[in-house]
Amino acid sequence: MAGKFSGGAGGEEELEEKSLNYCWLPYLSGYKPLPMPSLPTPIISAEELYPLTGQSDLLILDCRHNLFDTGAGRRLWAEAALPGAQYLHLDEDLSGPILPGQTGRHPLPETADFAAVMGKLGLEAATYVVVYDDKGGGIAARLWWMLMALGHERVAVLDGGIQAWEAAGYPLLPGKERTGAPTQPRFPNGDFPGTCDRAQTDKLRQDPAFTLIDSRTAPRYRGEEEPIDPVAGHIEGAINLPWPDNLKDGKLRPREELRERFAVLQAEARQNVFYCGSGVTACHNILAYHYAYGEMPGLYPGSWSEWLIG
């Protein structure tokens, strides 16, 4: 299953053949393959989570976020959250600094900075992390992916989010910050393997061994509307699989339905790379794909907002 990757003026670079259980991408600019995770499922139901609350090795993280009111998520957490849940802010905790003219809207943070954030929350190697939001996992999946990519595989997304928790009749409490001593997490996988930068994405979109998938809604993909970024449209060569279609009644669709949805990506022996507007909701497609097949496709974290920079 080895292929060729166009190296432009520098010729072609041979792609190293990988197991079908691994996402493999060209070894360019220090890229490292993303290991196959060992957890059998990336989601947990409210009914499964409730009996675990209060355990010392459980860390529940609230990721609610509103792109147009960036303080709303923290306010909601302070008012009512899952018992013991800590809050992580998409812009402040799950993203690095925006560099004008260089990065998209939500660049990945430095691994050391993210480790410090997680250390304040008491993360250890044995900690089981459950992440949730109020958008079907569209934000929480970013944190799920970050932990998985760095090698902390004991992480799951609460299926149905806080709405499913409330619907089950489970309690909500005002958010309260952790006051314990920080830990020093050690992530075994280095600096977010399984990602592509802009130059790599530009090459792979032209390579028949790869499929580039836009995870935004169809109107944004078609360029009919663009509520966030200055220019509408999509990366040339990308197909569209909108992330909200992974959901049914606010929860992740059954595996069989997700396999039907992603069948177009399995029809040919290609490697798949997802993007969105800023590297957030594309992670939901990766979550759903992993749930369906047990594989981890690639991510272009800069996504459309970085691609526009040129």
CA dist 112 and 185 (Å) reads: 9
Residues of the chain falling short of pLDDT 50: 1-40
Burial of 90 (0-12, 13-18, 19+ CB in 10 A): buried
In the chain, what are the domains?
43-167 (3.40.250.10), 192-307 (3.40.250.10)
The DSSP secondary-structure symbol of 136 reads T
What pLDDT, on a 0 to 100 scale, did the predictor assign at position 270? 86
What pLDDT, on a 0 to 100 scale, did the predictor assign at position 197? 96
Contact 255, 292 (CB under 8 A): yes
CA dist 222 and 225 (Å) reads: 8
Backbone angles phi, psi at 175, to 5 degrees: -65, 140
CA dist 290 and 169 (Å) reads: 29
Q: Tell me if residue 195 falls in helix, strand or coil.
A: strand
Which of the following is catalytic: 23, 63, 196, 276? 276
CA dist 127 and 152 (Å) reads: 9
Has 196 been annotated as catalytic?
Answer: no
CA dist 22 and 113 (Å) reads: 27
51: which residues sit within 8 A by CB, 6+ positions away? none
What pLDDT, on a 0 to 100 scale, did the predictor assign at position 310? 80
CA dist 246 and 44 (Å) reads: 16
112: which residues sit within 8 A by CB, 6+ positions away? none
pTM of the prediction? 0.88
What pLDDT, on a 0 to 100 scale, did the predictor assign at position 31? 37
Tokens 């220019």: give the residue.
Answer: 231
Q: For the segment 114-157, what is each residue's pLDDT rounded down to a tens digit?
A: 999 999 999 999 999 999 999 999 999 999 999 999 999 999 99
What pLDDT, on a 0 to 100 scale, did the predictor assign at position 24? 36
Amino acid at 29: S
